Amino acid sequence: MRALVTGGGGFLGRYVVEQLLARGDQVRVLGRRDYPDLAASGVECVRGDVADAQIVSQACAGMDVVFHTAAIAGIWGRWEDYYQANVVGTENIVAACRQHGVGRLVHTSSPSVTFDGADQNGVDESVPYPTKWLAHYPRSKAIAEQHVLTANEPGKLLTCALRPHLIWGPRDQHLIPRLIERAKSGKLRIVGNGNNLVDMIYVENAAVAHLQAADALTAGATICGRAYFLSQGEPVVCWDWINDLLKLAEIPPLRRKISYRAAYAIGGLMEAAYRIAGKYDSEPRMTRFLAAQLATNHYFDLSAARRDFGYQPKINMAEGMRRLAETL
């Protein structure tokens, strides 16, 4: 098939591109930079921003399916930046799919669209969107996800949204490097009691799920117009996993702790200080959203993804960690 991958030069996007190429699909990527290595692999590269409707329209022309992985993620920043990239960008993708008769759209969402700061213990997709938001990222992604799901229209455009949690693995330039850097600088502490369970997903499993979802988007299929949680299906103790990661990088394990209540309060104060100072181009060391993410349980029921498009993690946690260790 002819597939467009927005954010195809990013962490998840590259794995989606590679898996599409491996099975013989024609691939085009839309990204904000040039990607000579992808071009050398036979990928058609379109340079531009998803907030630019004209560029998005050009990129979607002639495609059978769009994988929309492009987004701005983070715990801090200007609402307008998140809105333009995550909401307007997604609206442009949907409009271009309709304009050019693209039949299928797989949208990369986030489990944070359902997170209100409380524990999420094995929740499924019936959990509602929250009424309060602790950060701009989940709020913008929730708006985008709802737009994609309501855009599902049999006979015209079939859509679904995937919610992979804490994507990790080789070539990650965000989660793992930041954890290691903070630990090396002595700025990382265990938040809460250190026993909270979290789900995560190895990047190749997340990419496989995107292709499986696209293949399952057929007329009358249950997947159409629905969102799905994705993970390894084997929750881990968050801080044990972080210490395992630090061990791979030959960094001593974390011992110092800060209570969830204290971290949350400090996060609120730091957000206020940064807001008053107009500091939006750098992140506070702590925010309310980050404190909640680091201290609470959040793991999910994968029954729907397994049932509706055959999702099953092919690479388990142990094998994923072994592969990661080879790259650190």
Catalytic residues: 137
Residues 6+ apart with CB under 8 A from 160: 105, 106, 107, 148, 149, 152, 213, 217, 223, 224, 225, 226, 227, 228
CA 262 vs. chain centroid, Å, equals 28
Two tokens, residue 255: 């011992």
Residue type, 302: L
What is the Cβ-side half-sphere exposure of residue 212, based on CA atoms within 13 angstroms? Answer: 19
Q: Which residue has the tokens 């104060």?
A: 269
- Alpha carbon of 319 to those of 2, 315, 324: distances in Å? 32, 6, 9
d(CA 60, CA 80): 25
β pairing state of 65-68 and 2-6: parallel
Strand, coil or helix: 53: helix
What is the distance in angstroms between the CA of the first residue and the CA of the last residue of the chain? 35
Two tokens, residue 148: 């994609």
Two tokens, residue 63: 């495609």
Phi and psi torsions of 10, nearest 5°: -85, -175
Q: Which residue has the tokens 């201290």?
A: 295
Cβ–Cβ under 8 Å, residues 93 and 65: no
